[in-house]
Structure 1
Amino acid sequence: MSEERSLNFIEHIIEDDLKANYSKEDLRFRFPPEPNGYLHIGHASAICLNFGLGLRYNAPVNLRFDDTNPAKEEQEFVDAIKRDISWLGFKWANECYASDYFQQLYDWAVQLIKDGKAYVDSQTSEAIAEQKGTPNTPGTESPFRNRPVEENLELFEKMKNGDVTEGMHVLRAKIDMASPNMLMRDPVMYRVLHKSHHRTKNDWHIYPMYDWAH
C-alpha cells in the first residue's frame, strides 16, 4: 500500500484558504522568470513546483516575464525559457510580460506623486544606500524628500522622456525611513535606463524596479 504524500508549506496555505471558503475555481499560479539568461536546474525545480500546483488543483498557470531591465534582457532568453518549459512537458495558460503594463505602472506612479506619496531623489545610489540605516537604527530622510509636487512631476516627466542621464534621478516611494522593515524605507520605484527594450524598443527611458512591478 502506497503512503499518502505529505503536503508542502505552499499546499498547506492553499488548503487552509480552500477550507476558509476560497473558491477553487479562482486559483491561479505563475512562473515569473526574468529573461536575462538561460534557465538552470534551480529554475527547473521552480517550474515543476508551480506547474505541479496547477496540475494538482486543475488551475491555470501563467508564464509571466519580469522584463524590467533592458540592460540584461534579450528576446533570445525569452525564447529559450519557453522552449525549456515545453521540453519539461508543461503548458502555460497565458503569456504575460511586465512590459504589458508599463503605462499603467507609470500612471500609478504619477498619481502617487500627486498624492504626495512619491518623490524624485537626485542623490547618488551610494548616498541613498548610506541613508538606509540599519535594522537597529532608523534611516535618514533624503534632502529631496519634500520637493514640491509640481517639481517632482516635471522631473519625472523629464526622466520618462530621456532628458536626463542615467543615475541623475530616481523615483522613490515616500513611506517611512524609520520602519523596522528596511524595505519600506522609501524604496526606489523607477530608475533611468537609456537602453532599447526587446519588446517596447525605445518607447521608455525609465523602468520600474522589481518591487514596484510586482
Structure 2
Amino acid sequence: MQNFINAYSAVNLSYLLRGLWVTVEVSVVSIFFSFIIGTLLGVARYVKIKYFSAIVGFIIDLIRNLPLLLILFFTYFALPNIGIRLSVIPASIIAMTVFESAMLAEIIRSGIGAVPVGQMEAARSNGMTYTQAMTQIILPQAFKKMIPPIVSQFISLVKDTSLATIILLPELTQHAQIIYGQNVNYTIPMFVALALLYFVVNYALSVASHVIDHKLN
C-alpha cells in the first residue's frame, strides 16, 4: 500500500497528467485530420473514378496492411534521409493520421455502400448534382450507420499513441515508464494509473458516441 501512496505523489501525478495531455493532443489532432482525409478517400474509392479510384484503393489497402509501428519509424527515421526532418509530435501525428485515414476510408466506403441506391437516384431525379446528393443526402445517412465503427477506430487510435514511445513521444505511457524506471516498486501502481487514465479517455469517447447516436436517431 505504501508503494501506491509514494507512487502517486503530487510530482508523479503531475508528470503523468502532462503525458496524458500529450496523448490527448496527438489523438485529437490525428482524429481531426484522419476523419477529413478518410472521408475524402472513402468517397473517392466508392465513386469509382476511372484509374483514380483504383490507385486510391491500392494505397488504402497498402497502408491498412502495414503495422502502425513501421509507419512511425518511417516518418521519424526515414524521412530525414530525404531532407524532411520532423520533431517527435508532428511525426507521431502524421504517422497516425496516415494510418487512421486508411482505416476510416474503408469504414466510410462501406457505410456509403450500405445506403440504398434509390436514395442517390431520387436525389438526382430531383435535380441535385452528384456532389450535392452525396454531401446532403448520402453521407449524412451513412455517418449515422458508421458512428460505432468510427468511434471504435478513434478509441484504437488513442491506445495506439502508446506505440509512439518507441520514438520517445512524451505521452502517457512513456511518462509512466520513466517513473517506474526510477523505482521498480512503482511498476504496478503506474500500470494501474495507466489503465484508469486510458479507460477514462476512451470511456468518454464511447459515451459521446452513444449521445450522438441517440440524438441522430
User: Quick one: higher RCO (CA 8 Å, sep 6+), 1 or 2?
Assistant: 2
Normalising by structure 1, we get a TM-score of 0.25
Name whichever structure is richer in helix by fraction. 2
